[in-house]
């Protein structure tokens, strides 16, 4: 009997092309799906709609003071202070959520010993622009009194905590730009030994995001540096708009790390892989814009697009500069994106990004005439990353382009 050798099964050419493309599409869809599912719904600043006791109300002896807002507020990130009729601050701390009330109501217990007279209540709750919405009102027990001290609430964040939070946010921005640059370089020029670089930048971005999440709770609640590590703040931070955006970023980072394995195996060519990196990176970039201080109701659509485009352009610049054979033609479009994205911010942001755009454009022109030296690459990359961090951390100035 003659043995017949079996022919190896070979996928049709169309299938060999479609499979890698399908993997890239699934990667982009998964990252965007996780981010969109976790991103918060933008809302306006909380407004106090009622209180118990009410303003100017004359009561007998209430056991607690309740405040009800027009939207949910995180009790652990809010503050309520009460001054007694004798001028002493008798309540100063974190409110609680009453068991028989909704998530739009917070309360504090009155002291056991209550004197006749007027009591002043001061409150503060976090807002989307990282400041606090504040207010005060008074009520009286049995009879009103006059000329009493108002409750003292911390209105400014603790300076050490503010610096630590700024450092964490800055490291997160730098880490993300380098992460995007590493992935873009890998997609356009093959992965090879870039797994280690990707891992370092991924862990840097993820760790900085986690640190920002933990520190933001104390920042919003106006605690000290060690107070920010209180576990009770974690659920409230997760329920806040900023905290939800940070968790969305962490989820997207996890999906992106898993997708790197598909990126390494995709044989669809460098262009589809690079496009997939930019599309997945855009989803993560959106979380940086949403988690930054913004006006009530969420960032304007044009500002959202411009902020994401700025981060993507920075990643393309750095990734292109440190590729084995830099494609300097990518630097000029990236420079234009950097300059254009500054038009949706303030004067400071526009100036910083304009300077960065000029540096990138000149670097691209010089590199096109002669092989780019390592010094030139470092200068352009450093200027680009520094501009992104500055725009991400500095407050906005007068707007050059009105968006809304």
Instruction: Give the model's pLDDT for residue 266.
Output: 54
How does residue 170 score in pLDDT terms, banded at 50, 70 and 90?
very high
The number of beta carbons lying within 10 Å of the beta carbon of residue 396 is 18
Q: 94 and 236 in contact (C-beta within 8 Å)?
A: no
Q: What is the largest CA-CA distance in the chain?
A: 113
266-291 pLDDT, tens per residue?
555 577 778 888 899 999 999 998 88
As a whole number of angstroms, the distance between CA 50 and CA 106 comes to: 11
* Dihedral sign of CA atoms 356, 314, 385, 288 in order: positive
Q: What's the mean pLDDT when you consider all of the chain?
A: 81
Per-residue model confidence as pLDDT tens digits over 261-270: 666 555 555 7
Section 297-320 average pLDDT: 86
Residue 279: Cβ-neighbour burial (10 angstroms; 0-12, 13-18, 19+): middle
pLDDT at residue 164, rounded to an integer? 93
- By residue count, the chain amounts to 404
Specify the pLDDT at position 401. Answer: 36
Name the token pair of 40: 């918060």
Ordered structural domains, the chain, with CATH: 16-43+158-393 (no CATH), 48-141 (2.60.40.1220)
On whether the CB atoms of residues 213 and 243 are closer than 8 A, the answer is yes
C-beta of residue 398 within 8 angstroms of C-beta of residue 344: no
CB 388 within 8 A of CB 360: no
3-class SS of residue 131: coil
**How far is C-alpha 64 from the chain's CA centre?**
36
What percentage of the chain reaches a pLDDT higher than 70? Answer: 82
The tokens for 132 are 């606090």
Which residue is associated with the tokens 């201080």?
293
Neighbours of 267 (CB within 10 A): 12
Q: How far apart are CA 152 and CA 124, in angstroms?
A: 11
The pLDDT of residue 329 is: 76
Distance CA 329, CA 364 (A): 7
Does the predicted TM-score (pTM) go above 0.85? no
Please give the span between the terminal C-alpha atoms of the chain, in angstroms, as a whole number.
81
Q: In this structure, are residues 141 and 115 in contact, taking their beta carbons and an 8 Å threshold?
A: yes
| In the predicted structure, residue 298 carries a pLDDT above the cut 60 | yes
With beta carbons less than 8 A apart as the criterion, state whether 117 and 144 touch. Answer: yes
Q: Cα-Cα-Cα-Cα dihedral of 67, 68, 70, 72, to 10°?
A: 90
Distance of CA 350 to the CA centre of its chain: 21
Asked if the model's pLDDT at residue 103 lies above 80, the reply is yes
Band (310; pLDDT cuts 50, 70, 90):
very high
Question: 275 burial class (0-12, 13-18, 19+ CB within 10 angstroms)?
Answer: middle
Please give the distance of CA 171 from its chain centroid, rounded to a whole number: 12
Alpha-carbon span 42 to 296, nearest angstrom: 8
Average pLDDT over residues 375-390: 87
How confident is the model at residue 402, as a pLDDT? Answer: 32
């Amino acid at each position: 009997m003659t043995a017949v050798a079996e022919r190896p099964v070979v996928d049709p050419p169309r299938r060999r092309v479609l499979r890698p493309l399908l993997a890239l599409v699934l990667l982009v869809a998964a990252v965007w799906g996780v981010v969109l599912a976790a991103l918060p719904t933008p809302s306006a600043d909380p407004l106090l709609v009622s209180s118990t006791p009410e303003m100017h109300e004359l009561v007998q002896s209430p056991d607690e003071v309740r405040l009800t807002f027009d939207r949910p507020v995180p009790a652990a990130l809010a503050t309520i202070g009460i001054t007694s009729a004798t001028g002493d601050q008798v309540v100063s701390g974190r409110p609680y959520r009453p068991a028989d009330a909704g998530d739009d109501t917070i309360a504090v217990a009155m002291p056991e010993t209550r004197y006749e007279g007027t009591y002043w209540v001061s409150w503060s709750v976090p807002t989307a622009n990282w400041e606090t919405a504040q207010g005060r009102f008074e009520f009286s027990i049995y009879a009103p009194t006059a000329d009493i001290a108002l409750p003292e609430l911390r209105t400014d964040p603790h300076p050490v905590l503010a610096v630590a939070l700024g450092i964490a946010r800055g490291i997160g921005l730098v880490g993300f730009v380098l992460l995007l640059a590493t992935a873009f370089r890998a997609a356009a020029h093959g992965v090879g030994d870039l797994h280690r670089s990707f891992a370092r930048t991924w862990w840097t971005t993820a760790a900085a995001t986690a640190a920002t999440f933990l520190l933001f709770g104390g920042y919003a609640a106006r605690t000290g540096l060690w107070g920010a590590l209180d576990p009770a703040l974690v659920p409230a931070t997760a329920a806040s708009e900023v905290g939800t955006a940070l968790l969305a970023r962490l989820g997207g980072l996890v999906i992106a790390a898993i997708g790197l394995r598909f990126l390494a195996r995709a044989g669809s060519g460098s262009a589809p892989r690079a496009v997939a990196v930019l599309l997945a990176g855009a989803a993560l970039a959106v979380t940086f814009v949403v988690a930054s201080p913004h006006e009530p109701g969420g960032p304007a659509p044009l500002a959202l697009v411009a902020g994401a485009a700025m981060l993507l352009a920075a990643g393309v610049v750095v990734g292109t500069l440190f590729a084995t054979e830099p494609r300097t033609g990518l630097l000029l479009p990236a420079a234009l994106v950097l300059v254009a994205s500054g038009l949706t911010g303030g004067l400071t942001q526009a100036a910083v990004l304009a300077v960065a755009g000029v540096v990138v454009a000149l670097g691209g022109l010089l590199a096109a005439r002669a092989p780019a030296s390592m010094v030139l690459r470092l200068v352009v990359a450093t200027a680009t990353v520094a501009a992104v961090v500055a725009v991400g951390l500095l407050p906005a100035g007068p707007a050059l382009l009105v968006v809304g």
